[in-house]
Amino acid sequence: MSQFNVMRTPPETAAMNTPLLDVRGLSIALPPGADRPLAVDNLTFTLNPDEILCVVGESGSGKSMTAHAMMGLLPAPHVRVSGGSLLFKGKDVLAMPEAEQRSLRGGRIAMVFQEPMTALNPLMRVGRQIGESLREHTALPAPARRARVVELLDQVGLPNPAELAEAYPFRLSGGQRQRVMIAMALACQPDILIADEPTTALDVTTQKQILDLIRSIQAERHMGMMFITHDFGVVAEIAHRVAVMRHGKLVEYGAASDVLNRPQHPYTRQLIASVPHYIEHRDDHAKTGAPLLVADKVRKVFNVGGGLFKKSKQVVAGDDLSLTIHPGETVGLVGESGSGKSTLGRSIVGLIKPDSGRILFEGTDLLALDRKGFRPYRRAVQMVFQDPYASLNPRHRVGDIVAQGPVAFGEDRGKALARARELLAMVGLDGSAADRFPHEFSGGQRQRIGIARALAMEPKLLVADEPVSALDVSVQGQVLDLLDDIRRRLNLAMLFITHDLRVAAQVCDTIAVMRRGKIVEMGTAREVFTHPRDAYTRSLLDAIPGKAWHIPDDLQNVPAGAH
């Protein structure tokens, strides 16, 4: 693959033509009682033929709403366009009669959605689903449609396209489904392809393949493409031009090279600064004393399905997993979905019982202990969960949530609540937070509460299972800084589980890379990033979006206290 070209701009010819899409002063109104009156506020931008425009923003920025307005997907009557126009080749889409709008959508403008698992009809063969839009928008006879479907599946790089057209969606992997979605969008040779976070739900290596595919298809067909994303790494991979949105307003708009390398607006600068990236910001961890935790040949097999008369299928989630964590060390466990990284984390905190192997905590084998014997170790090993919306009981006050652990261990409730307030202050929340309910907090704040809950037990080891993957990038940076700060102040050891090597790079001393239930490489963060030994690690590193882009020096995020 060629180096990222900072000078990449849309071809000269494009500028000559009228824009494919001209959005002028678009406003979308939210129903009364929403957190703001307008989801999209006076938005103006253009999309030229043969150009990839990346619309970047965090959740709630209105970036998807814009695409949905174009596709007629707004949840009417609650949310509606309240002003402005959407011109497609000079004609206002919103003023067109319903039938004309429909022929435009799916025909001239096509869309690829974020979630490949739910975007396909599970009961319809893949080929027929693609054929639907051909039937709707073209006059092709059935045999020609079938041939075209196979051709499309071939173009999006799927193996055995003829066979695959007859398959049901459940037989395909996430990446394959996203390819099918793209084939479906391409069926009628649209002028505009809208992609709404098409790679967010995919693993990094798959993401890279899909981004490569999208880029090559766009270049081949000279389509105009609106690519919605929250990830500046992805922007650096594919964008010609960039529009940055915040709270429904366009804050920065310009050529990719300008926005990426010379961002002007403070918000763009903040977003770029919070893109996780590897920096040599700390020395290798000096391993002192006896290891705090040793996982030794841990193996876990899940029995899936099965019943009274049916044999269950065995899935090996973890095999021969060995890992050492020293006091004060942060070990990153990195792998794609299904690699077994969470299985190991959950085994260590005692949520899963492995089938064999040993997990030694300060020399005691936790797996050999019964429920009662394990109980004292519960305090020492605590967990921070992935989903800030599911990990707090919605019916309990925050103070009780944080104090629940110490209370369960017999501490006086008043004392535990007072301590909970201190901890909430420590993780950066107001003291009054203790009296409120979880739904009153944002995702990042909830994750702070989750961290306070773990700290209330005064643990020696913190297992953080994807603690930032559900958060927006700017919040993600803050939570990572908090974890790093707490780890240092309390001299905590941490097992940091993540699918994102960039995030691991920011907080970990040591990195273990997992694949299909095995640890394929373990070494210091520096070694793994600069001299990866395993081929899989290399492919993971290679798949990091935007790795060729050098984040402007003044925006490199160096955590406080780093070297």
Partner 1 sequence: MMNSDFWRAFARNKGAVLGLAILIAIVVLAAFASVFFPGDPWEMATAPFQPPLSEDALLGSDMLGRDIASGIAHGARVSLLIGLTSTAAALAIGVTLGALAGFHGGKVDDAIMRFTELFQTIPNFVLAVVLVAIFTPSLTTIVLAIAIVSWPPLARLARAEFLSLRSREFVQAAITTGQSNSTIILRQILPNSLSPIIVSASLMVATAILLESSLSFLGLGDPNAMSWGYMIGAARTVIRQAWWMSVFPGLAIVLTVLALNLVGEGLNDALNPKLARSRG
Q: Examine residue 33 and tell whether it contacts partner 1 (CB under 8 A).
A: no
Tell me whether residue 311 or residue 395 sits nearer to partner 1 (CB atom): 395
Q: Examine residue 34 and tell whether it contacts partner 1 (CB under 8 A).
A: no
Tell me whether residue 396 or residue 488 sits nearer to partner 1 (CB atom): 396
Which range, of 198-206, 214-222, 375-383, 521-529, touches partner 1 by CB under 8 A?
A: 375-383
How far is 192 from 222, CA to CA, in rounded Å? Answer: 9
Binding-site member from 147, 390, 535, 562 for partner 1 (CB under 8 A): 390
In the block, residue with structure tokens 């459940």? 170
Which range, of 5-13, 325-333, 346-354, 481-489, touches partner 1 by CB under 8 A?
A: 346-354
Binding-site member from 9, 322, 404, 524 for partner 1 (CB under 8 A): 404
Least separation in angstroms between residue 373's CB and partner 1 is 13
How many residues line the site for partner 1 (CB under 8 A)?
27
Tell me whether residue 131 or residue 350 sits nearer to partner 1 (CB atom): 350
Least separation in angstroms between residue 454's CB and partner 1 is 8
Q: How many CA atoms lie within 13 A of 513 on its CB side?
A: 22
Q: Examine residue 516 and tell whether it contacts partner 1 (CB under 8 A).
A: no
How far is 330 from 292, CA to CA, in rounded Å? Answer: 12
CA 86-239-219 angle, to 5 degrees, is 90
Q: Examine residue 470 and tell whether it contacts partner 1 (CB under 8 A).
A: no
Q: Are 22 and 46 in contact (CB under 8 A)?
A: yes
Which range, of 7-15, 199-207, 284-292, 380-388, touches partner 1 by CB under 8 A?
A: 380-388
Tell me whether residue 382 or residue 498 sits nearer to partner 1 (CB atom): 382
Which range, of 118-126, 170-178, 312-320, 348-356, touches partner 1 by CB under 8 A?
A: 348-356
**Which of 386, 476, 392, 484 lies closest to 434, judged by CA?**
392
Q: Examine residue 492 and tell whether it contacts partner 1 (CB under 8 A).
A: no
How far is 500 from 276, CA to CA, in rounded Å? Answer: 9
Number of H helices and number of E strands within the chain? 21, 20
Q: Is 272 exposed, middle or buried (0-12, 13-18, 19+ CB in 10 A)?
A: buried
CA distances from 236 to 208, 246, 457 (A): 12, 19, 42
Tell me whether residue 224 or residue 345 sits nearer to partner 1 (CB atom): 345
Residues 450-469 that bind partner 1 (CB under 8 A): 450, 453, 456-457
Q: Examine residue 409 and tell whether it contacts partner 1 (CB under 8 A).
A: yes
Q: Examine residue 391 and tell whether it contacts partner 1 (CB under 8 A).
A: yes
Site string for partner 1, 3-22 (x = CB under 8 A): --------------------
Binding-site member from 207, 382, 510, 557 for partner 1 (CB under 8 A): 382
CA distances from 56 to 247, 261, 473 (A): 12, 15, 11
Q: Return the SS3 of 392.
A: coil
Q: Examine residue 312 and tell whether it contacts partner 1 (CB under 8 A).
A: no
Classify residue 537 by its DSSP letter: H
Q: Which residues contact 402 (CB under 8 A, 6 or more apart)?
A: 420, 423, 424, 434, 449, 452, 453, 456
Can you say whether the dihedral through the CA atoms of 200, 113, 263, 59 is positive or negative?
A: negative
Q: Are 103 and 137 in contact (CB under 8 A)?
A: yes
Residues that bind partner 1 in the complex, under the rule CB under 8 A: 349-351, 375, 378-379, 381-383, 385-387, 390-396, 404-405, 408-409, 450, 453, 456-457
